Amino acid sequence: MLQPVNQPIDLEAIFPARAPYPKPTGFLWQGRRYRVQEVHLVHERWEGATRLLLYSVTADGTLLQLRYDTTRARWYVDGVYVEEG
Protein backbone atom coordinates (compact mmCIF):
# COMPACT_ATOMS: atom_id res chain seq x y z
CA MET A 1 0.00 0.00 0.00
CA LEU A 2 1.28 3.48 -0.84
CA GLN A 3 1.60 5.74 2.19
CA PRO A 4 1.41 9.36 0.94
CA VAL A 5 4.36 11.63 1.74
CA ASN A 6 4.47 14.57 -0.76
CA GLN A 7 7.81 16.07 0.38
CA PRO A 8 10.27 17.95 -1.86
CA ILE A 9 13.72 16.40 -2.30
CA ASP A 10 17.08 17.20 -3.82
CA LEU A 11 17.64 14.61 -6.53
CA GLU A 12 20.51 13.57 -8.77
CA ALA A 13 19.61 12.25 -12.20
CA ILE A 14 21.14 11.45 -15.53
CA PHE A 15 19.51 12.51 -18.77
CA PRO A 16 20.40 9.80 -21.31
CA ALA A 17 20.60 11.12 -24.87
CA ARG A 18 18.13 8.65 -26.35
CA ALA A 19 15.84 8.05 -23.38
CA PRO A 20 12.45 9.74 -23.04
CA TYR A 21 12.82 10.41 -19.28
CA PRO A 22 15.54 11.39 -16.82
CA LYS A 23 16.86 8.51 -14.67
CA PRO A 24 17.14 9.19 -10.90
CA THR A 25 20.42 7.97 -9.38
CA GLY A 26 20.19 9.30 -5.83
CA PHE A 27 18.46 11.83 -3.59
CA LEU A 28 18.57 13.57 -0.24
CA TRP A 29 15.45 13.18 1.90
CA GLN A 30 14.97 13.97 5.59
CA GLY A 31 18.71 14.49 6.04
CA ARG A 32 19.60 11.08 4.61
CA ARG A 33 21.17 10.26 1.25
CA TYR A 34 19.47 7.46 -0.73
CA ARG A 35 21.00 5.63 -3.69
CA VAL A 36 18.52 4.50 -6.34
CA GLN A 37 19.18 0.85 -7.08
CA GLU A 38 16.41 0.27 -9.61
CA VAL A 39 13.75 2.17 -11.51
CA HIS A 40 10.77 -0.17 -11.87
CA LEU A 41 8.26 1.98 -13.73
CA VAL A 42 7.88 5.48 -15.15
CA HIS A 43 4.59 6.91 -16.30
CA GLU A 44 3.14 10.32 -17.11
CA ARG A 45 0.16 12.00 -15.54
CA TRP A 46 -1.34 15.36 -16.43
CA GLU A 47 -2.84 17.76 -13.89
CA GLY A 48 -4.31 20.51 -16.02
CA ALA A 49 -1.41 21.85 -18.11
CA THR A 50 1.23 20.34 -15.79
CA ARG A 51 2.99 17.17 -16.91
CA LEU A 52 4.10 14.96 -14.02
CA LEU A 53 6.46 12.00 -14.27
CA LEU A 54 5.86 9.30 -11.66
CA TYR A 55 8.63 6.84 -10.84
CA SER A 56 8.45 3.64 -8.81
CA VAL A 57 11.98 3.05 -7.50
CA THR A 58 13.91 1.00 -5.00
CA ALA A 59 16.36 3.13 -3.04
CA ASP A 60 18.49 1.55 -0.31
CA GLY A 61 15.99 -1.29 -0.02
CA THR A 62 12.93 0.97 0.26
CA LEU A 63 10.22 1.00 -2.41
CA LEU A 64 9.13 4.59 -3.12
CA GLN A 65 7.18 6.65 -5.58
CA LEU A 66 8.97 9.77 -6.81
CA ARG A 67 7.32 12.59 -8.72
CA TYR A 68 8.91 15.07 -11.11
CA ASP A 69 6.92 18.23 -11.77
CA THR A 70 8.10 19.26 -15.25
CA THR A 71 6.57 22.75 -14.97
CA ARG A 72 8.42 23.66 -11.76
CA ALA A 73 11.43 21.36 -12.38
CA ARG A 74 10.99 19.96 -8.84
CA TRP A 75 11.27 16.42 -7.46
CA TYR A 76 9.18 14.98 -4.61
CA VAL A 77 8.87 11.78 -2.62
CA ASP A 78 5.24 11.12 -3.44
CA GLY A 79 4.88 8.10 -1.19
CA VAL A 80 6.47 5.08 0.46
CA TYR A 81 5.20 1.57 -0.12
CA VAL A 82 4.52 -0.28 3.13
CA GLU A 83 3.42 -3.87 3.64
CA GLU A 84 -0.06 -4.42 4.98
CA GLY A 85 -0.66 -6.66 7.94
Q: Say if residue 73's pLDDT is above 80.
A: yes
pTM: 0.91
> What residues contact residue 83 under an 8 Å CB cut-off, 6+ apart?
1
- Round to whole Å and give the CA distance between 38 and 76: 17
Of the candidates 55, 65, 45, 52, the one whose C-alpha atom is nearest the C-alpha of residue 2 is: 65
Summarize pLDDT for 31-62 with one digit per residue, the tens. Answer: 999 999 999 999 999 999 999 999 999 999 99
Strands (E), 1-85: 2-14, 23-29, 32-47, 50-59, 62-69, 74-81
Q: What is the pLDDT of residue 38?
A: 97
